[in-house]
Amino acid sequence: MDRREFLIAAAWATGAGLAGCRRGEADAPPAVRPAGTGEIRTVHLATGAVDLDLSNGRPFKVYGYNSRTSGPEIRVREGDTLRVVADNGLPEPTTIHWHGVPLPNAMDGVPGITQQAIPPGEPFVYEFVARAAGTYFYHSHAGYQLDQGLHGPLVIEPTQQPGHDREFVLMLEDWAAIDGGGPAASRAGRIDEDPGGMMGGMGGMMGGMMRGRMGRPRAGEPEPLRQPMYDAYVMGGRTADAAEPLRVRKGDRVKLRIINAASSTTFALRLAGHRLTVTQADGRLVEPVEVDLVRVGMGERYDVEFIADRPGRWALLGAPGEAAEARALRTLLYDGIVAGELSHEGPARPRQLSHGDLVARPEDGLPMVPRIDRTIQLTLSGGMMGSPYWTINGERYPDTAAIEVERGERIRLEYFNMSMMAHPMHLHGHFFELDLPGRPRKDTVLVGRMMGRMAVEFVADNPGRWFHHCHHLYHMEAGMANIVGVRS
* Nearer residue to Cu ion within complex by CB, 93 or 448: 448
- The least CB distance from residue 426 to ligand C2O, in Å, is 5
**Contacted by 426, from Cu ion, ligand C2O, none: CB < 5 to 8 Å by type:** ligand C2O
* Contact footprint for ligand C2O (CB under 6 A): 97, 99, 139, 141, 299, 426, 428, 467, 469, 471
* Nearer residue to ligand C2O within complex by CB, 97 or 475: 97
* Nearer residue to Cu ion within complex by CB, 13 or 384: 384
Calpha distance 444→99 (Å, rounded): 10
DSSP class of 348: S
- The least CB distance from residue 99 to ligand C2O, in Å, is 4
* Contact footprint for Cu ion (CB under 5 A): 423, 470, 472, 475
Q: Cβ distance 242 to 74 under 8 Å?
A: no
- The least CB distance from residue 235 to Cu ion, in Å, is 22
- The least CB distance from residue 141 to ligand C2O, in Å, is 6
Q: Is 263 helix (H, G, I), strand (E, B) or coil?
A: coil
Of residues 151, 147, 141, the one with CA closest to residue 428? 141
Q: Which residues contact 332 (CB under 8 A, 6 or more apart)?
A: 245, 246, 248, 271, 272, 274, 308, 313, 314, 315, 316
Of residues 470, 13, 67, the one with CA closest to residue 237? 67
Q: Cβ distance 265 to 230 under 8 Å?
A: yes
* Nearer residue to Cu ion within complex by CB, 410 or 475: 475
**Contacted by 470, from ligand C2O, Cu ion, none: CB < 5 to 8 Å by type:** Cu ion
**Contacted by 41, from Cu ion, ligand C2O, none: CB < 5 to 8 Å by type:** none
* Nearer residue to ligand C2O within complex by CB, 144 or 314: 144
Q: Cβ distance 101 to 131 under 8 Å?
A: yes
**Contacted by 423, from Cu ion, ligand C2O, none: CB < 5 to 8 Å by type:** Cu ion
* Nearer residue to ligand C2O within complex by CB, 471 or 475: 471
**Contacted by 141, from ligand C2O, Cu ion, none: CB < 5 to 8 Å by type:** ligand C2O
* Nearer residue to Cu ion within complex by CB, 300 or 303: 300
- The least CB distance from residue 225 to ligand C2O, in Å, is 17
Calpha distance 342→253 (Å, rounded): 21
- The least CB distance from residue 273 to ligand C2O, in Å, is 32
Counting DSSP H helices and E strands in the chain, the numbers are: 4, 31
Backbone angles phi, psi at 167, to 5 degrees: -145, 140
The CA distances from residue 107 to 73, 117, 282, 392, in Å, are: 19, 12, 20, 26
Calpha distance 372→459 (Å, rounded): 9
- The least CB distance from residue 477 to ligand C2O, in Å, is 11
**Contacted by 128, from Cu ion, ligand C2O, none: CB < 5 to 8 Å by type:** none
